[in-house]
Structure 1
Amino acid sequence: MSKLFGIGVGPGDPQLLTVKAIETIKLLDVLYTPTARNNKPSTAFRIADQYIPKEIDVKKRKFPMTNNWHEKRKSWNLIAQEMVTDVKQGKNVGFLTLGDPSVYSTFSYIQELVDDQIKIEIIAGISSFSQIAAISKMPLMLDDESLIVVPANTKQVHLEQLIEIGENIVVMKVAINYPKLFAFLKDSALLDQAYLISNASMETEQVINLQDCDGTEDLPYFTTMLIKKEGKDK
């Protein structure tokens, strides 16, 4: 039976796609992919490109990068209904997403719109923060420790509260709020406990030492921070 597949392609290195993700891509009849700026393929598409059979019908669609919720919802709904039509015609349809489809992914909104109309399967992918832990050679959490994952564009007061109470904190898309976040970490004497990596596992990967920074650096969009508190009371 035909389905819509949400496929995580991992953080950037094509070798980090799971076997299941690759096998699922090869089963697709139609593949939806966001159109990046300048009409270039999306990052997720470029990562998976070598595994995409030439005969697959690739449909490039614009997903608005805007804070206008109504505009985004309207666009998602149009694309979602097109996907439903394809699946009901007996086609296996895929949507590629960077990292994991269940972590801050547009696919979750598509899923919500079509969940009661067609069958859906989600293929998990490696998240950027899992890869950052691997690059840094440190565990995300141990024993009874907790892990907090938060986007940098959350309200500043809330972000600071989470960092204050957390033991291990992942901040996604740091570039959006980097100057304020840097200032808070500096005031809290946490710069030496924060690890900043841009474009994890991609050819343009950067490991940034925050103690050599001043908070004015121009960071790539895909920049993630891992804060690991030392000596926090249990």
Structure 2
Amino acid sequence: MKVLTITAVGPGDPSLLTLAAVEAIQESTVVSYPVSTLGGESLAEKIASKWITKDKKKLPLHFPMVNDQNTLKSAWRFAGNELMKMVGNGERVVFLAQGDISLFSTGSYLSKELEKYHPECAVKLIPGVTSFSAAAANSKFSLAFQDEQLLVLPVPDSYEELKVVLSDAASKKRVVVLLKLGKKWEWVQPLLKELNLINKSIFAERIGFSDQQILRASDLPAGTRPYFSLLLIRQSWPLRMP
């Protein structure tokens, strides 16, 4: 049976790759990975570079960062066909995806593409460490205790929508993880101050890379932030604590 492996490589720190991910890369003959621009670098490849030896073939695949559905579907279709060519030639192919494959991941779209158009190929999925779990561990931030809820979502598009999310979270003892902060920090910062949450929030960007930042949101100046940035927001603590 034809088999393709899609493995997560974590948020940035090579030491956070799972043993399963390392073994999949080592056993492969072809290592494929996404690039956002033609001829550009791949963060996933960079994270896993220690295990991508010179004997392995490399297959960069272009996944443009756009919202146009036709463009995205064409990219997924092309990628699926290219990978199947390699698998059909007897290659042991592994595709690398940053973070975890089940959370806002190129790997998830690729898996569904192969499932729909190449059902003859078995797809093995290997999970990975998420950016927010790595940031939480690094900052000693507890994501959830006992019966608390955890909400993970991209930063909403509007001030009012996020205000509702945070107000609702307060009433339900819900910890909130906001991903893809980026330029929205310009209006998120004033909202956190308005709700008295700026001192209860942790900011993190480029987790696992040499230039990572993890600090209290109150220490972060106004302005835009990189795409790979996030907030951890805890508004209360359980009664039963040490």
Fold match (TM-score > 0.5): yes
Q: Which residue of 1 aligns with 2:65?
A: 65
Query: How big is the shift at 1:181?
Result: 1.8
Q: Secondary structure at the match of 1:3?
A: strand
What letter is aligned with 1:204?
Answer: D
Equivalent residue number for residue 53 of structure 2: 53
Cα deviation, 1:176-231, whole Å, max 9, x if unaligned, reads: 42212222212111111110011112111112332234532x32221111111125
Cα deviation code 1:96-153 (max 9, x no counterpart): 1111111100111111111123101111111011101111112210000011000125
Question: Structure 1 residues 37 and 84 mapped into 2: Cα distance closer, same or farther (>3 Å)?
Answer: closer
TM-score normalised by L of structure 2: 0.88
Check the 8 A contact 2:150/2:175 in 1, yes or no.
yes
Cα RMSD for the two superposed structures? 2.1
Q: Tell whether 2:122 aligns with 1:119.
A: yes
**2-structure distance, mates of 1:156, 1:59:** 41
Q: What whole-Å deviation, never above 9, does each CA across 1:66-108 have from its counterpart, x for those lacking one?
A: 1112111111111112212322333222111111111100111
What is the alpha-carbon distance in structure 2 between the residues aligned to residue 156 and residue 121 of structure 1? 40
Stretch deviating more after TM superposition (207-216 or 130-139): 207-216
TM-score normalised by the chain length of structure 1: 0.91
Would you say the 8 A contact 1:88–1:118 is kept in 2? no
Cα pair 1:152 1:159 within 8 Å, conserved: yes
Partner residue of 2:133 out of 127, 130, 134: 130
Q: 2:163 aligns with which of 141, 160, 164?
A: 160
Gaps of 5+ in 1: none
Query: Are 2:223 and 1:224 aligned?
Result: no
User: 1:120 is matched by which residue type in structure 2?
Assistant: V
SS at match of 1:60: strand
Structure 2 vs 1, CA of residues 156 and 105 (structure 1 numbering), >3 Å: closer, same or farther?
Answer: farther
In structure 2, how many angstroms separate the alpha carbons of the residues matched to 1:19 and 1:32? 18
**One-letter identity of the residue aligned with 2:18:** T
Q: Structure 2 residue aligned with 1:198, among 199, 205, 210?
A: 205
What residue is the counterpart of 2:190 in the other structure? Answer: 183
2:210 counterpart SS class: coil
How many pairs align? 233
Q: Is the 8 A contact 2:183 2:226 kept in 1?
A: no
Question: Alpha carbons of 1:138 and 1:90: their partners in 2 closer, same or farther (altered >3 Å)?
Answer: same
Q: Structure 2: which amino acid aligns with 1:162?
A: V
Is residue 21 from structure 1 mapped to residue 21 from structure 2 by the alignment?
yes
Supply the distance in 1 between the matched residues of 2:157 and 2:102 (Cα, whole angstroms): 18
Question: CA 1:37 to 1:208, structure 2 compared with 1: closer, same or farther past 3 Å?
Answer: farther
| Aligned twin of 2:90 | 90
Q: Deviations for 1:26-59, whole angstroms, at most 9, x for unmatched residues?
A: 1112222222458332111101001112121101
Secondary structure of 1:31's counterpart equals strand
Q: What does residue range 37-48 of structure 1 map to in structure 2 within 5 Å? A: 37=37, 39-48=39-48
Sequence identity (%): 29
Seen in structure 2, the aligned counterparts of structure 1 residues 6 and 160 have a Cα distance that, compared at 3 Å, is farther
Does the CA-based 8 Å contact 2:2-2:120 persist in structure 1? no
SS at match of 1:169: strand
Contact 1:9 1:21 in 2 (8 A): yes
Aligned equivalents of 2:204 and 2:198: distance in 1? 14
Partners in 1 of 2:210 and 2:194 — Cα distance? 33
